[in-house]
Chain A
Amino acid sequence: MLKEIGLTSMEQLHDAIPDSLKLKREMDLPPAMNEYELRRHIDGLLAKNKHSGDYLNFLGAGCWQHFIPAVCDEINQRSEFVTAYAGEPYEDHGRFQALFEYQSLLAELVDMDVVNVPTFDWAQAASTAIRMAGRITGRKTVLLPRSVDPDKAAIIRNYCTPVMEIQYVDIDQVTGRMDLNDLSSKLNDDTAAVYFENPCYLGIIEDQGAEISELAHKINAVSIVGVDPISLGVLEPPGHYGADIICGDLQPLGMHMNFGGGQAGFIATRDEEKYVMEYPSRLFGIVPTEVEGEYGFGDVAYERTSFALREKGKESVGTQTALWGITAGVYLALLGPAGMQEVGSTIIQKSHYAAKQISRIPGVSLHFENGTFFKEFVVDFNDTGLTVDEINQRLMETGIFGGKDLSLSYPSWGQCALYCVTETHTQADLDRLVDTLRSIVSTS
């Protein structure tokens, strides 16, 4: 091949690069390993990790341990899907159909007519929803309750600066719900959107959705609701209480936790041009082909995107998290309506069981005693004399990952932790947690 292109050495291939820019030494990297050595090496590193298969895990806070049907893994590992990328509708018909079906299945779950090909994660979906609202209304401010995950708020702030401004709305310190008086006082002519979550980061179910949306709509602002999709077999879809844009994370629908690598965001709206034309991401639509009886799939309104218009497109689009969308579609197809209702019910019952038992431990209580919650809840350890960090260290010694320490994010609450209970926990698991906590607290 060298001869054919008129060269005599491999070094000549890089003649276009000036000598002054060339690295004139070998890179300082470990020598190559063969496959066997590599496997031993990586297995050795991974062996240092303690994982939620062996440990009882009560961490959630944006990444959750759920039951994953084997078929989700089977499809997720298919070589064709794993290695596909930007193929045309004619060689990647299956990819287009699988993503159209994902959009369609999620649309039923959230009860909206438009869903996009997934974004990076929930934080990205929320950020984009906020910027969409800014473009739709021509206004600059978004109101967020203080119960939004501080890390998510940091992502939103970075993505929205300098186009949008974030203002916080207080939450009721007893129930954790949004403080409607504070919200009302902050709504004005510059409010593009009110964003709130169901359940929120702290697990609380916001049951004032209709009032919040109405307040937003009264001043022609957009109501955006972030939602955990695994709750939607039992909780009202946000469109039913006035949401104009719905967003959230797909990770609960068939993705392993993967140290946080399973996150994928979704956005859903009504099928209205003013909303659809503000999506930056790809939207796959179904079309006829030139042969009657065939389904074809293609990009809807591609000219919106930065692929077509560079800086003049809506925000920016590139590689996102498409495979997780396909996997979430498989999950929804497997569970069906009954499965989604069952998994939601199970999570509510088990998490309430755990919260009830934990709050019976002397010195331990629920931070929001009057709040209603789904899957996650805030446990108050202030009266135990122990820090959450100390409790979590003791729990880990017994094979349990305790809840997320909130003392840094919400310092005024003192020693509180966010516990997550899902359908994967058995009663025995929960009783073990409660017994261990009781023992730790009583010996302090």
Chain B
Amino acid sequence: MKRIRRDHKVRKFHQAKWDEPVIFELHRPGERGVVPPGTEATVAAEVGSAEDNIPASMWRRTIPALPEIGQAKVLRHYLRLSQETLGSDMNVEIGQGTCTMKYIPRINEMLIRNPRMTELHPLQDVDSVQGMLEIFHNLDLAMREISGMDAFSFQPSSGTQALLAMASIVRAYHDSRGEGEQRDEIITTIFSHPSQAATAAVKGYKIITLHPDENGFPDLEKLKNVVSERTAGFVVANPEDTGIYNHRIREFTDVVHEAGGVCYYDQANANGLLGITRAKEAGFDMCFFNLHKTFAAPHMCGGPATGALGVTEELKNFMPGPLVDKEDDGRYILRDQTEVSIGKVRSFHGVAQTVLRSYAWIMSLGPDGLKDVAQVAVLNNNYLYHKIVQIRGASAPYVQGRRLEQVRYSWKQLTDETGVTTEDITRRMCDFGLHYWTSHHPYIVPQPFTLEPTESYSKEDLDEYIHALEHISNEAYTQPDIVKSAPHNSTVHRNDESSLDDPKQWCITWRAYLKKTQPELH
């Protein structure tokens, strides 16, 4: 038999393409997907019909125009949509920098499906949920050790909500000291996540944004110029989204503290720091970790997630509550908020499933394993960095040293020389079964892309990603139209986006689409 050649460097991939209708088009009158539990005749005999038991004006006269679809068709439809979704389980997902895409251990997904987890009501008596509270408490203890903070809340259900909670605590803290009116500014950096600035603005603060120095570090002199008696707080990620670690961070927090401000730490980029360095020693009063990034809870298409919020003893009373505490007799309790607490930021105790997943992940790694995570992630990142900057047209602006767990790269040279942009490359990478993201706005680094390889990927995985970028760079220089007209192997071709910003044309639901495209029928 002839030998089968498999020496191509990029994967010959094609995304699933089912040409699937929108679910309303599956409607066939009279079909049913499922029948919910009904009312016993004896119950109905006792109370009468539903309509008899509510005010006449509140009975729905026109039933909702939901489609009628048999169960097998519903299942098939959604399975096809799932197949048309790449997911980090399906690809070498190092292209979503700042988001720490890592392997999701299946055992944890199995554990959270236990009815002793799924069927718990959050208001059950504490004696009936001792196992769950123990998990919350144990994860709190682990997070304290990892960060140096003194207490954690798992109520915020994302990094954004944790940032909001921290900005709220900053406000409550200054209010409690009678300086709430005076301290109306929060300082952040341009390479931070947009939510740092946005959540502080939600809390009514004026935002002061620091731009980096020529090496990409937050500028200490600029910070000194902007701190004042109006400074309420300073929020920063370290490393920032560039992957550059600010080695003078302690000077930054000292400067802010001297001015009376609170320092809070966006640790969404903590993966390369586990067991290496902590928020406390860097001088922070608060920090958060994203359990859905560093601690291996999945991202679930964009949540639910958890932003585990840690504070020092001084700020503990301002935390959202209730917090889980352990009594001397070993019993776990929910301790109510204090008078100065910000109250709550999310209903109940947060997303308990992510708490369980992350606890399980930490228990499966132990202290050595967590430090291995940090080292392997940083090794992977620096290997990738070393290789990427050798690709024609690519560079990594700012300091030319080691980076932590990600790097913000630039295709400026490639764009200047070929006209191919980073957005074009996003679409072309889909053709090889790989996700690639440009970067957060604003594009301070021109034609940016941010890659974060984490510890989950092998050298072979990284090489596959690098080969794909090399391949596309070669295409850009030799046949740029292939890149510009991508995707070619996707579920769909390029969107016509012209209607998305036009109120007369945008269609946010199927019924709006029908009204705007077939107005004669409506």
Contacts and interface: CB of A to CB of B under 8 A. Distances in A.
21 contacts: A5-B382, A18-B250, A31-B367, A32-B366, A35-B364, A82-B300, A100-B22, A120-B304, A121-B346, A205-B55, A235-B60, A289-B492, A296-B494, A317-B198, A319-B305, A321-B304, A334-B69, A336-B67, A343-B36, A345-B50, A349-B43
Interface string B418-432: 000000001100100
B375 interface: yes
Contact of B32 (A33, A41, A308, A339): A339
B108 to A, nearest CB: 9
B36 A330 contact: no
B410 interface: no
Interface stretch (A58-66, A178-186, A214-222): A58-66
A93 interface: yes
Interface in B187-223: 193-195, 197-204, 207, 209
Which of B77, B114, B303, B501 neighbours the largest number of chain A CB atoms within 10 Å of its CB? B303
Interface in A42-59: 42-43, 45-53, 55, 57, 59
A91 B146 CA distance: 36
Interface string B162-173: 011000100100
A387 interface: no
B301 interface: yes
B94 to A, nearest CB: 13
Nearest to B180: A162
A94 B80 contact: yes
Contact of A296 (B24, B54, B496): B496
Contacts of A88: 426-427, 430, 435, 437
A242 B202 CA distance: 28
A427 to B, nearest CB: 5
A341 interface: yes
Interface in A300-347: 300-303, 306-313, 315-324, 326, 329-330, 332-346
A441 to B, nearest CB: 19
B32 A260 contact: no
Interface in B91-140: 91, 96, 99, 101, 104, 107, 109, 111, 113-125, 127-132, 134-135
Contact of B130 (A48, A99, A105, A256): A48
B129 to A, nearest CB: 5
Contacts of B19: 293-294
Interface stretch (B225-233, B270-278, B468-476): B270-278
Most chain A beta-carbon contacts within 10 A, residue among B58, B134, B161 = B58
B87 A259 contact: no
A49 B128 contact: yes
Interface in B334-365: 342-354, 356, 359-360, 362-365
B487 interface: yes
A77 B111 CA distance: 12
Given A91-B490, A323-B303, A261 B363 contact: no
A50 to B, nearest CB: 4
